[in-house]
Amino acid sequence: MSLVTTKEMFEKAYKGKYAIGAFNVDNMDIMKAVLNACEKKQSPVIIAISSGALKFIGEEYIKELLVSSTKKYSIPIALHLDHGKSVELCKKCVDLGFTSVMIDASAYDFETNIKMTKEVVEYAHARGVVVESELGAIAGIEDEVVVDDKYGCFTHPDEAVEFVKRTGIDSLAIAIGTAHGAYKFKPGQKPQLRFDILEEIEEKLPGFPLVLHGASSVPHKDLERLNAYGGNMPEAIGIPEAMLQEASKHAVCKINVGTDIRVAYVGGLRKALAENPEKFDARTFITPAMDAVSELIENKLDNVFMSSGHAND
């Protein structure tokens, strides 16, 4: 199977009331672990590459690695640029063979966001590539923000409608209470997604796929393993899996995961290193790390995104 865009994936996910996992990968080992888990569970998957990962892995390798992988796997696979901060980077990834790109101009004012997004859409659509954009302050959810209305730093439904219509994007990342990184909430804060805002946007944009960023749950057992074998990561509170599962039953067709993968991988690696001090074969340590990632992904596909078994819908 060749690389695909997310357009058909999202249409099926929306109707089937499940979400597609967009998994941030930092190296080939993690990419293989993600793909192995998705193949086993027969789930479509989005391989998400950040600008940092693109530089680390090497832009000349990314597409070739995945194209080679598609010969082994039977599931739909999309290659996605995550948080492209410039129009130029998005265009470069389109030219590199990415099937989906995200232009993240959410730090700019509304009109600038629209202008930058529209430019990427025109370039990408002409080349058969789909585009995601972001509206709202996802990254700032940890801060104490005093607001005068119920939307505050979250995505305003009316603005979402205008943004989609004026840009022509294919999916929209919304801010309803998620946050990037492991430390999403301060001690004593209770995670809470704004389902009221999600439902308003869903009602105003019927059939349109929405996206959640910053949706790692930081499973306690993975954090515990990392710290038990030499790590020093403070307790972190993520987004409860039950909330993510509920979101996937609505218009949320794509859920991003990055932190959880890194915690699982490094925890598995630390454990293997500690238990095998006499060994020096890299495979001895990397294989358990990959297994930890695959186990994490399988759980999310089965119990959070509900996408297992939907590869051939």
Q: Which residues are catalytic?
A: 82
**What is the gyration radius of the CA atoms in the chain, in angstroms?**
19
Cβ neighbours of 262 (radius 10 Å): 18
Cβ atoms of 19 and 248 within 8 Å: the answer is: yes
- CB under 8 A, 24+ apart: contacts of 115-122: 116/87, 117/163, 117/167, 117/169, 118/166, 118/167, 118/168, 119/87, 120/84, 120/87, 120/90, 120/91, 121/167, 121/168, 121/169, 122/168
Give the list of residues 6+ apart from residue 77 with CB closer than 8 angstroms, or none: 1, 3, 4, 35, 44, 45, 46, 47, 66, 69, 70
* Angstrom distances, CA of residue 220 to CA of 23, 246, 264, 272: 19, 21, 10, 19
User: By the 8 A CB rule, do 194 and 246 touch?
Assistant: no
Q: Both tokens of residue 152?
A: 């505050």
3-class DSSP state for residue 172?
Answer: strand
Cα 273 from Cα 267, distance rounded (Å): 10
Residue 307: CA count within 13 A, CB half-sphere: 34
**Exposed, middle or buried by CB within 10 Å (0-12, 13-18, 19+), for 95?**
exposed
